[in-house]
Amino acid sequence: MNKRIDVHHVTRVEGHGNIVVEVKDGKLKTCKFEVVETPRFFEAMLRGRPYHEASHITSRICGICATGHATASLRASERALGVELSEQSWLLRKLTFHGEILDSHILHVYMLIAPDFLGVGSVIPLASSHPEVVMRALRMKKMAGDLCKIVTGRHTHPIAMTVGGFTHFPKRAELEELRQRLVDSRKDVDATVELGASLPWPQFERDTEYVSLSKPDEYAFIDGEIVTSDGGRYSAEQYKKVTNEYLVEHSSAKLTKHKRDSYMVGALARFNNNYDKLHPRAKEAATALGMKPKVTNPYLNSGAQVVEIVHCVEDSIDIIDKLLAKGIKPEDPAPVKKVQGEGVGLAEVPRGLLIHHYQIGGDGLMTGANCIIPTNQNVANIELDMKALVPQVMDKPEDAMRLDLEMLVRAYDPCISCSVHVMKIERTA
């Protein structure tokens, strides 16, 4: 039995990635997930720029994780320069971060992976077959985008977040209206959990090392220690002990590994490492989805995203209550305490652990930067998942096998930037 699957490029992911699988005489010969994006050079762009521009520049790395990049960037500068954020700034940072997690997870669950389960090619035919599902997704996405706009001035590429705090503050009435929308969205959130619980998730298990941030008192999205399910625990400054970046010929992404040959970051890693910090309603959602840590089915990364949608809606309501109770006060950004320094900013963006590491010189200009994005960290793990999956599905017809592989890649919600298109299958007799 010989088969060659060449998905070039994988659809419904953000960016160019190819799946190349070759089975010869019933044996797996080739199994690669190729990242064929060109280098972006953002780190080089940062050198020589004032540190206060860094968050606006790096936010452009991604139109989906713009707030995530801006947040990690600001934390790197703030930690480098000894800036202590006010309680209000922390609440606003966390609130807008939730908005982006919601926006991204809703997009992925409803528009990028649901079509696979509901037997259509994209969200456009899904609108004919399941209009109520698509309208719900649009409503929820709009609310998430409006949340970001209210806090940071616009939906994408936050303009109001700056080193030390904010330059714009939401009005009480805006927060009250947003709170009501979040409360009203619970029926949509419940329907999302029902949808997630009804999907026929592929059965596939492969244990790996799960890497995420962790904080003692909350489900960590910003700051914290880097922990792994194999028992590692590292400070932000020790991140290279986790990532150990290396190069392979078939990928323009740098790969990473820690104690095993690969590790996984993202919603499932956060779920596995931080389950006990989830909001009670999010834990109920996990139960409805049949998920309890440690979950080792990578397809359920999307299930973990559903759980996080519940968590972020509930935690956003709690954060707004705190802000309303204290009253929103316009305040100047917290001052820098050092003229130069080095700092690492960490954030759990929708797709996983994001690291920004900056050096800032005495003139306030950046002298060095290193950014490690989640999808890089997942590439090696995706490949090892594929290698484990192919022997289990190689007897299926090629279309079914190809779909299993594509759905596996999509489950990681990879953000490899820009494009899509045709796929080619070659069958050798």
Partner 1 sequence: MLCSCSSSVTTTLPRPKATKDILILGVGNILQGDDGIGIRVVEMLTQECLPSGVCVADAGTPGLELPLWLEGWERVIIIDAVHMGELPGTWRRFGPDEVRLIASDKALSLHELDLANGLALAQNLDMLPKEIIFYGMEPERIEWGQELSPAIEAALPGLLEDLKAELRKRE
Binding site for partner 1 (CB under 8 A): 11-14, 63-64, 107, 111-112, 120-125, 127-128, 131, 134-135, 138-139, 141-142, 145, 418-421
Give me the least distance between CB of 111 and partner 1, in Å please: 7
Closest CB to partner 1 among residues 147, 360: 147
CA gap 261, 385 in Å, rounded: 11
In contact, 29 and 4? CB cutoff 8 Å: no
Helix (H) or strand (E) holding 29: strand 27-35
Which CB, 130 or 254, lies closer to partner 1?
130
CB of 12 to partner 1, least distance (A): 6
- In the complex with partner 1, the residue whose CB is nearer, 70 or 134, is 134
Residue among 150 and 288 whose Cβ is closer to partner 1: 150
Cα(295)–Cα(208) distance, rounded to whole angstroms?
10
Q: Which residue's CB is nearer to partner 1, number 14 or number 314?
A: 14
Task: Round to whole Å and give the CA distance between 226 and 233.
Answer: 6
Asked if 206 and 300 touch (Cβ cutoff 8 Å), the reply is: no
Residues found in the chain: 429
Cβ-based burial of 364 (10 A; exposed 0-12, middle 13-18, buried ≥19): middle
The residues pairing with 359 across neighbouring beta strands, listed in sequence order, are 342, 368
Q: Would you say 122 or 428 has its CB closer to partner 1?
A: 122
In which element (H, E) is residue 91 found? helix 87-106
Closer residue to partner 1 (CB): 64 or 312: 64
Q: Is 124 exposed, middle or buried (0-12, 13-18, 19+ CB in 10 A)?
A: exposed
Nearer to partner 1, 103 or 308 (CB): 103
d(CA 307, CA 284): 9
Edge-to-edge strand list for the sheet holding 3-8: 27-35, 17-24, 3-8, 423-426
d(CA 122, CA 275): 32
Least separation in angstroms between residue 44's CB and partner 1 is 19
167 phi, psi to nearest 5 deg: -110, 0
CB of 6 to partner 1, least distance (A): 16
Minimal distance, residue 11 CB to partner 1, in Å: 4
Token duo for residue 83:
């800036």
* Alpha-carbon span 369 to 47, nearest angstrom: 7
**Token pair in block for residue 334:** 């917290």
